[in-house]
Amino acid sequence: MRNNIKPSSEGYFALLQKNRNFRIFWLSRIVYLTGNFFRSIAISVMLYQLTGSGLALGASFGLSTLPLVIASPYAGVIADRHDRRRIMIVAALSTASIVLGFLLITSVELVWLAYPIIALLTIVGAFSAAAHDAWMPNLVTKKQYPLANALDISIFFILMAFGNLFGGLIIENYGWEPAFVFNSFSSVLSALGFFLIQTPRQILDRKPQTHSVWRDLIEGGKLVWREQLLRGVFLLDVMYCFGAGGTGLAITFFALDVYGLGSSGLGLLYFLYGIGAAIGALVLSRWLLRRLDFHRQCLLLGIICLGEGVFFALFAVGPSAIHSAIALALRAMIMGIFPPAVYTVMVQLIPPELRGRVFSYRIGITSLIVGMMPFIYGTFIGIAPMETGLIIAFLMGIPGAVWTAIMATKRLKADTVTHL
């Protein structure tokens, strides 16, 4: 039977106080992500103001994920073979350089430059994400991992809230250029933070380095195919992403076009979204994961997806911006539980030396779907925004309903030996 992984009884503050390496890691992530969220809202506002096109927005969302399909599996192998700290430092410094390319876009004729820059930043982000996901379990103890994971994910959503809020206000008053400069500066500071982390030698892939990358990728794929439960989690993610891939576009389009809220209003909408998700990740996920055994943790994944679909439908049919904002915040609160839950489940199924490529497989496969859907939804959202939102909600909720039924009837057993 599985030795269930549950959060440590110590609090978040105690974890940060006692674990120097994780504290620096976490603070460096704060700096890095703050700049990234400034950049994210700046790109959306810049493209919409220059083009006024839903398809142009959809293309930016698509290119922020599609390159992950190719880059993520390769990045996972690199994260298993090489020093993960060094990878994150190089990725942060690369981001600092590439993001300044947005400053060249001064008119609608130069908008095309945004897309290769977005693609490059996405590729760099794939290496950073693979190293991050594979490295963080080595910075904490077994019992600290769920707590550290929830804290790491919650700060993502908190910074989504405040980064977008303040980013929107700055852009409204000073334009989008300062946001890109700040992103460059924050990336340099985060690289310095990662450099200060002192860790013992990481667990690397034990096979000779002469093995090809493609052979290593195939081995990671075999693990996913061999583990029935792991394969099921992957399938749930993939099917859910047919809907979730359109949420960012829908939120942005509803804020800027349907409700005419402007960049500050878009920032406020994402602020509520981020706060809701942070509550889910920081408070609700910890409360739930401490009380659920492994089987119920797996069941929880389906309930979350189903709940997200319901609340996003309410967002799409909201009679006013306030109603839609409340529904979006509730959807985000449920969504915030998912990352800590799914990583807590997956980390118990994956050997340490294979985590980089398997986590990257998940990113790559889901990114293929998430990257394609904004192009599709972007074609129709300008014509029928409410109907497009309801389709997105339906495609998020149905996989959750099916997974919940499978796990509730115990047709899929969850009793594999833990690897954490």
CA angle 61–363–275, rounded 5-degree value: 65
Which CATH number characterizes residue 169's domain?
1.20.1250.20
Q: Is residue 237 domain-resident?
A: yes
Reported confidence tier of residue 322, pLDDT bands at 50, 70, 90: very high
- Band of pLDDT at residue 220, cut at 50, 70 and 90: low
Number of domains forming the structure of the chain: 1
Residue 68 burial (CB < 10 Å; 0-12/13-18/19+)? buried
Structure tokens at 393: 């909600």
Q: Round to whole Å and give the CA distance between 420 and 273.
A: 32
Domain limits at 126? 20-194+213-408
Give a yes or no: residue 358 inside a domain: yes
- Angle at 203 (CA atoms; ends 197, 204), nearest 5 degrees: 110
Section 236-245 average pLDDT? 90
Q: Tens digit of pLDDT for each residue in 91-145?
A: 999 999 999 999 998 888 888 889 999 999 999 988 888 888 778 877 877 777 7
pLDDT band per the 50, 70, 90 thresholds, residue 393: very high
The predicted model gives 201-211 an average pLDDT of 49
Centre a 10 Å sphere on the Cβ of residue 122 and count the other Cβ atoms it contains. 19
Give the model's pLDDT for residue 1. 43
Residue 252 lies in a domain: yes
Tokens of 38: 């400034």
Residue burial 345-376, b: 16+ Cβ < 10 Å; e: rest: bbbbbbebbbbbbbbbbbbbbbbbbbbbbbbb
pLDDT tens for 57-91 read: 788 877 887 887 778 777 877 877 788 888 999 99
pLDDT band (50, 70, 90) for residue 175: confident
Q: Among 13-17, 181-185, 222-226, whose mean pLDDT is lowest?
A: 222-226
**CA angle, 280 then 362 then 420, to 5°:** 70
Tens digit of each residue's pLDDT (9 = 90 or more) over 14-36: 888 888 888 898 899 889 988 88
Q: What is the pTM of this model?
A: 0.69
- Can you tell me the mean pLDDT for 328-351? 86
| Segment among 109-123, 149-163, 171-185, 330-344 with least mean pLDDT | 149-163
In a domain, 14, yes or no: no
Asked if residue 72 belongs to a domain, the reply is yes
Rounded mean pLDDT of the chain? 82
Tell whether 8 is covered by a domain: no
Place of tokens 């700046």: 42
| Domain-located, residue 390 | yes
Q: Does a structural domain hold residue 296? A: yes
